[in-house]
Amino acid sequence: MPREVPRARRVAEQVQRTLAQLLQREVRDPRLRPLTITHVKVSPDLTHVWAHYSMLSGDSHDPQQREILDEAAAYLRGPLGRALRMRLAPHLHFQPDEELERGNRLDDLITQAVRDDAARHKDDATVAPAAEDADDDSLAHYDSSDDEDQ
């Protein structure tokens, strides 16, 4: 696993804030739906920036939205470099955020598993009283006070 460069992490945080402002202020394409920059990765040499985004409404994998962002990337490169006071402005790459979608899928799977487990325990609860009546001694508990009486 590559070692994380502290400067790259600090630059990524600043890029995320600045890029969100630039997208809101500078990109005037009416087809672009509202989005949020979820996280940013920066190459160790600070020449490339991968901005992960999530659409606030609609599908993040919409090809039209991706095309708009790719066109905006070339335009935003200069203002981003000036805002960050970098000698070389980094190349911008926009990618839909897969982690949020993966998290939502896992949440749905966990919710479904809990529902299935609750339904299974509900079915077991209807069968369990019959088993208790058959063998009461198997459920007896040890009581240490009984030992003192002897």
Structural domain total, the chain: 2
Q: Are 77 and 15 within one domain?
A: yes
* Residue from 32, 29, 38 nearest 57 by CA: 32
* pTM assigned to the model: 0.66
Query: pLDDT band at 139, cuts 50/70/90?
Result: low
Q: Are 82 and 46 in contact (CB under 8 A)?
A: no
Query: Do the domain assignments include residue 140?
Result: no
36-87 pLDDT per residue, tens: 999 999 998 889 999 999 888 877 788 898 999 999 999 999 999 899 898 8
Q: CA 64 → CA 24, 26, 32, 38, 71, distances in Å?
A: 18, 18, 8, 19, 11
Q: Are 90 and 22 within one domain?
A: yes
Angle at 92 between CA 1 and CA 66, to 5 degrees: 105
Q: Are 102 and 91 within one domain?
A: no
Q: Are 11 and 81 within one domain?
A: yes
Range of the domain at 48: 6-96
147: left (phi over 0), alpha (psi -120 to 50) or beta: alpha
The 3-state DSSP class for residue 93 equals strand
Q: CA 47 → CA 2, 84, 109, 121, distances in Å?
A: 17, 13, 39, 56
